[in-house]
Chains A and B, each alone.
Chain A
């Protein structure tokens, strides 16, 4: 990773700056113009002071009198240059900000657009924390050098003007400047070279400290229930102390170089005075010119550091930019076809030869089954057998590695962008609610009336508690829905799917946090709603094809067919009765409670016999 100001990093860094300059040409030019004005006027103000000294102050002391014209010219020069300089400074600062923040915002928008565009498989491979810092810290770091950049350009102008001004004044004094200013620049470079790896290290540790705190507070309940506070504190302490040491290391370098960078120009002024005094005795310069050069040194000593600031930010900027770029250039975006699927009728689903892998680990092997339109299929299988993964392929959250998923005979990959969500709704196993109102969470921007929202809530058995919320549908649910209980969140998520009257409805263990009575009511409601399709189908009110991941017999009994999945393969499919008969794994799974009960009863009976 780039942590040092090497020439390679410099080159890359300048390329990054080039990108910003090209993108925001107008702002950058205006900023540079302002900054040049500032640079020029800084030198001019020293010159004005020198002029005033030579033409106003010293004559006045020498002759005991001075013309009003000279006096007011001096005043005008001093105030005038200062006003122009102030305009330059204001312009430089404001425009540098505009430049930096615009670029940051642009990167952030691009990065998040990419997050929304990239397939879920890509998300699976990148930790959440990393993606968040790509959009925040990295986008910030990438464009951080833009803040001091205009000033640095202005400083270059300033140095150039100063060099010319000094040369005109006196070549020998100029020579002092030509020695001192490069020395400051070199010292600055050495400073930034020493500092930047240390600063990057500290930055890295700061991120790690924050990550530990985040994870630890996220898991606070686990830490508490197991009484592991000491262990966690120790973990945090180690990293916090590393951070402390890293910051002290940074402090040592800063502490050494900052005073040196202040002392060097001061020594420069002393040398100027010394040399100047000698030149004065030789009559090569006058006192006004001496004052002018000395004053110039005082004025230049601080801004010249801006060159170092840009350099200092470059390594961080390069790293940030590379990370942002990695997201922007990420391949594997989903390609969409042209096919549109119309009509409100339930959709038929066909899965054939489907395999899926997370990285190298294949978790679905050659899965095939179909769900005729209007039918309900239950996906049953042990924990970790791949059910949730399979349903993700059914709504094209991920594309299969091999095989295909057909909806009404059309491969999902052929369907136009936005086509699938229009007809398929998935209620995932892990409920996710947005920090929005209940209504917003259900409609997700879909144009539906409140009546329809309430109808969906009723079907999900959520109308009762939503009606009791302080502002009903307008109640905000908080970050990830924290203000609701697990079972309530699940029911809102269910309503979100139902309100869409999807042609294919997919439920992934969507009632696990709901108690059996409520679950029974949901299932009854669903059954009635679904039966509409068979009995009195009115246009727009046809039922759905349903795929449901379930363990409970009540849910399974809603299904026309069961697909039994184990370790990523379809072991058997058929009606519940058929599977019960011929598939031992399935039987074992769904009758677990009954068998358990039966065994208990048998044991109890035996015990009673023994007693009797």
Chain B
């Protein structure tokens, strides 16, 4: 699906290394944390040692040597307390380091998504982008705080246990390892099963969420067309498929998990069998043999959780890959930042010089577009659906860069202008009036964060919308709902327009921004805008040609070319695309 976000095909190790390079907070103090982790692990062999000491030294003489046992056990208890303390300090350090570094990564990822160009953003589902800064990061943090730690602890545990075993009896150590090696060899295979099962679960969960969301988002259509039953079937199928996938994964976990117990029991039985023989020949003491039985249990838990830990490790690496995939995707429409030009506010002139444009993997959409827009002009852009009007607007606002040629403002290539300056001077109002969940005032204030309620009211009045505002039950405090859905479609567009107007740009570009607004309001708005934007440049793209009639100049697009330009009066007079458009407009808008 995604055409970008590549460069993700790194090895696991390289991914982790690169991931860590983004999170310096994590590496700081890592060595100390690891040392503490290792000390904490040593706590695990205290019990076997205590058992061995008690049996071999304390009980050797037939009657227990209580003073010795007391001394040994108090020493062990002290060691337990110390290792627990180390565990505590290690945990706190680990949580602090991982959470801080991942919060940084989250925020960076978020910012980077916004820095990507519109085209790049649109090549991914919104939900997928959200996952990059939520679930994927959570997966990494799960691993760092649990799985990763477990790997260290488990390896430490097995190593320390093996070391002690070796001191007690190399023959029995060999036996234990021979028992466990087949399991170790099989582990990667189990992990592959599990990981493919979990992949299916994730896919099914995605399908399920998509199906469920249709029932909510498409509620009106489903009811209007009475397709409840069909939708319910689709949803049930998705939910059941998800359940089956989950149960299948659970079966694998359930089957693999207890294998370790069986292997451990075989190992223990082997120890008893061989140990007794060794004991008879005097190669091992009873206490050491019993201690072995305890030591084997130290092998069990690491191996039991190994498949899940490995799986989590794989998930974390995959999560990291995806996050890095975003961070490593260069913003192809990049802000020149401090190196860019800062343009002074004031009358603005814009020019397209031999601009060509094609969407990625698409046919050319704009051809050889050369046009200059002098300061203080009002332009209307007209043309059939798909003729390239929106594309023109996106190039002008630098949502995209031309494939060939350049777009300039006040003589500077757009690519050299700082975003902060550009966005202050040129603002576009897209057709879909997206609003944020919140009050009406907050949405308009998005155009100018410092604006007071008075300024907002004044702006609405200047746009001729005072009546409308008064008619709203809660005025500026009216909640607009998610995506603005508690307002009527036309009202949403009014808010979006007011928001851009409040931003007070030198060039205001309206892309079918009033398509759902009634004609009287639209004319009133157009007039108001004309009054207040005098001295600025205004460009409007509209199917309602009333805008064109009032413009200083009309640009007529047809199949990606600017085929006609000039004032309305002269364009209607000559035969051509505009005259045709106008004729159908007249017949549709006039009685």
Contact digits for B94-113, partner A, Cβ 8 Å, 1 yes 0 no: 11100110110011001101
Partner of A277, one of B54, B103, B247: B54
CB-based contact B294/A298 at 8 Å: yes
CB-based contact A252/B422 at 8 Å: no
Contact digits for A589-607, partner B, Cβ 8 Å, 1 yes 0 no: 1111111110010000000
Contact digits for A506-527, partner B, Cβ 8 Å, 1 yes 0 no: 0001001111111110010000
Q: Which of A103-122 contact B (CB under 8 A)?
A: 104-105, 108-109, 112-113, 115-117, 120
Q: Which of B31-89 contact A (CB under 8 A)?
A: 40, 43, 46-47, 50-51, 54-55, 58-59, 63-64, 66, 69-70, 73, 76-77, 80-81, 83-85, 87-88
Q: Which of B170-228 contact A (CB under 8 A)?
A: 208-210, 212-228
A422's closest neighbor in chain B, by CB?
B226
Given A82-B261, A553-B588, is A255 in contact with B468 using a C-beta cutoff of 8 Å? no
B408 at interface, CB cutoff 8 A: no
Expressed in whole angstroms, the minimum distance between the Cβ of A398 and any Cβ of chain B is: 9
CB-based contact B54/A217 at 8 Å: no
B125 at interface, CB cutoff 8 A: yes
- The segment from B16-24, B271-279, B314-322, B369-377 found at the interface with A is B271-279
Given A49-B268, A240-B103, A425-B225, is A255 in contact with B114 using a C-beta cutoff of 8 Å? no
CA distance A589 to B549 in the complex (A): 18
CB-based contact A221/B483 at 8 Å: no
A513's closest neighbor in chain B, by CB?
B515
- The segment from B5-13, B161-169, B234-242, B348-356 found at the interface with A is B234-242
B521's closest neighbor in chain A, by CB?
A383
- The interface residues of chain B, by DSSP majority, are classed as helix
CA distance A554 to B88 in the complex (A): 77
CB-based contact A86/B243 at 8 Å: no
B573 at interface, CB cutoff 8 A: no
A508's closest neighbor in chain B, by CB?
B489
B14 at interface, CB cutoff 8 A: no
A291 at interface, CB cutoff 8 A: yes
CA distance A83 to B549 in the complex (A): 88
Expressed in whole angstroms, the minimum distance between the Cβ of B445 and any Cβ of chain A is: 10
Q: Which of A291-311 contact B (CB under 8 A)?
A: 291, 294-295, 298-299, 302
Given A263-B84, A425-B225, A445-B227, is A274 in contact with B69 using a C-beta cutoff of 8 Å? yes
Most buried by B among A104, A227, A232: A227
CB-based contact B482/A128 at 8 Å: yes
B421's closest neighbor in chain A, by CB?
A227
CB-based contact A82/B264 at 8 Å: yes
Expressed in whole angstroms, the minimum distance between the Cβ of A309 and any Cβ of chain B is: 14
Q: Which of A405-444 contact B (CB under 8 A)?
A: 418, 420-422, 424-426, 428-430, 432, 434-435, 444
A487 at interface, CB cutoff 8 A: yes
CB-based contact A552/B520 at 8 Å: no
- The segment from A158-166, A264-272, A370-378 found at the interface with B is A264-272
Expressed in whole angstroms, the minimum distance between the Cβ of A364 and any Cβ of chain B is: 12
Residues from chain A with a CB closer than 8 A to the CB of B588 are 516, 519-520, 523, 552-555
- The interface residues of chain A, by DSSP majority, are classed as helix
- The segment from B336-344, B423-431, B452-460 found at the interface with A is B423-431
CA distance A358 to B428 in the complex (A): 32
CA distance A124 to B212 in the complex (A): 17
A232's closest neighbor in chain B, by CB?
B114
Residues from chain A with a CB closer than 8 A to the CB of B69 are 273-274, 277
Q: How many residues of A contact B (CB 8 A)?
A: 180
B133 at interface, CB cutoff 8 A: yes
Given A93-B257, A281-B64, A298-B294, is A220 in contact with B118 using a C-beta cutoff of 8 Å? yes
A341 at interface, CB cutoff 8 A: no
Given A116-B232, A425-B224, A515-B543, is A127 in contact with B214 using a C-beta cutoff of 8 Å? no
A487's closest neighbor in chain B, by CB?
B385
CB-based contact B399/A244 at 8 Å: no
Residues from chain A with a CB closer than 8 A to the CB of B232 are 112-113, 116
Q: Which of A222-268 contact B (CB under 8 A)?
A: 222-229, 231-233, 236-237, 240-241, 243-244, 247-248, 250-252, 254-256, 258-260, 262-263, 266-267
Partner of B212, one of A58, A132, A273: A132
Most buried by B among A94, A226, A262, A518: A226
The 10 A-B residue pairs with the shortest CB-CB distance in the complex, in nearest-first order:
A227-B423, A251-B95, A421-B226, A255-B91, A82-B265, A97-B250, A383-B490, A259-B87, A554-B588, A86-B258
| 13 A-B contacts (beta carbon < 8 Å) | A102-B243, A105-B243, A108-B239, A213-B110, A219-B434, A221-B118, A223-B114, A226-B427, A259-B83, A263-B43, A277-B59, A280-B59, A600-B549
Given A93-B250, A93-B258, A101-B246, 11 more pairs with CB closer than 8 A: A89-B258, A90-B254, A93-B253, A123-B219, A215-B482, A222-B430, A227-B423, A258-B87, A262-B43, A277-B64, A384-B490
